[in-house]
């Protein structure tokens, strides 16, 4: 399932996505987000049973997503990854990831299927490529109604087709600012955008319920430390043989 979430700056879009990520984490799903999340304080404050919780991971590069099977992928500021130009330059494997995401599943220890769901946040749907919009199953618009009160409006997918159409929400849900939940992320932290090189790197996570991480670590001693400038040059060379 692909859910597209829109909202103007300050509307509460990232807050809403953080609430959704926390909800999925509490249900036992693994969460992959491109902004920093730390659920440790929430887990400790609520005295939750840790064996029932999921795990939380950080990503910033599209190649990191290609091997994820099952779980919840959250993409804030998705226009930085999926505008028309970036979509055209994206490798076929990445395009396939989104067009066939419903088949990118895995099974848990009991043989139950774990689906792969994608949550994409964007300021306006027109900022992302039409092919991504057409893959979406749900469309949610977030607004700040009054200070600590927010509203999420759910629309039919066909309402995305025409910006001149006066949309009518299928349903609306109000939600309140929750300080404990809001502490799970830093609203002022920027999202890192896309790189295309081969990706022989990984991250280590020292805290059990946080995606605070070591940064990208080479998979072997033969791989040089990760540097965006060098990998960007390598990607350009690969695109122009």
Assigned domain for 73 exists: yes
Could you give the number of structural domains in the chain?
Answer: 1
Assigned domain for 230 exists: no
Assigned domain for 229 exists: no
Assigned domain for 26 exists: yes
Strand order across the beta sheet in which 116-122 lies: 56-58, 31-33, 71-75, 116-122, 2-6, 138-146, 149-155, 171-176
Strand ranges for 39-170 from DSSP E: 56-58, 71-75, 106-107, 113-114, 116-122, 138-146, 149-155
Assigned domain for 61 exists: yes
pLDDT tens figures, 22-51: 999 999 999 999 999 999 999 999 999 999
- CATH number for the domain that contains residue 188: 3.40.50
Assigned domain for 31 exists: yes
Assigned domain for 219 exists: no
pLDDT tens figures, 71-127: 899 999 888 887 766 666 666 766 666 666 565 567 777 777 777 899 999 988 777
* pTM for this predicted structure: 0.74
Assigned domain for 76 exists: yes
Residue 179 belongs to what domain range?
2-199
């Amino acid at each position: 399932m692909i859910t597209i979430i829109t909202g103007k700056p300050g509307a509460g879009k990232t807050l809403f996505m953080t609430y959704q990520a926390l909800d999925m984490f509490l249900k036992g799903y693994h969460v992959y987000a491109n902004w920093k999340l730390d659920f440790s304080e929430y887990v400790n404050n609520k005295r939750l049973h840790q064996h029932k919780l999921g795990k939380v991971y950080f990503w910033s590069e599209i190649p990191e997503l290609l091997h994820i099977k099952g779980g919840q992928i959250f993409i804030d500021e998705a226009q930085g990854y999926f505008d028309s130009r970036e979509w055209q330059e994206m490798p076929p494997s990445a395009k396939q990831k989104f067009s066939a995401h419903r088949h990118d599943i895995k099974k848990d220890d009991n043989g139950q299927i774990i689906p792969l769901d994608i949550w994409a946040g964007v300021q306006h749907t027109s900022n992302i490529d039409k092919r991504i919009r057409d893959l979406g199953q749900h469309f949610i618009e977030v607004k700040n109604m009054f200070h600590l009160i927010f509203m999420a409006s759910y629309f039919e997918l066909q309402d995305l087709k025409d910006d001149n159409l006066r949309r009518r929400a299928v349903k609306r849900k109000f939600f309140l600012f929750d300080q404990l939940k809001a502490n799970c992320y830093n609203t002022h932290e920027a999202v890192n955008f896309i790189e295309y090189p081969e990706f022989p790197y990984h991250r280590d996570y020292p805290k059990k319920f946080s995606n605070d991480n070591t940064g990208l670590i080479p998979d072997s001693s033969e791989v040089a430390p990760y540097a965006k400038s060098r990998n960007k040059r390598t990607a350009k060379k690969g695109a122009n043989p």
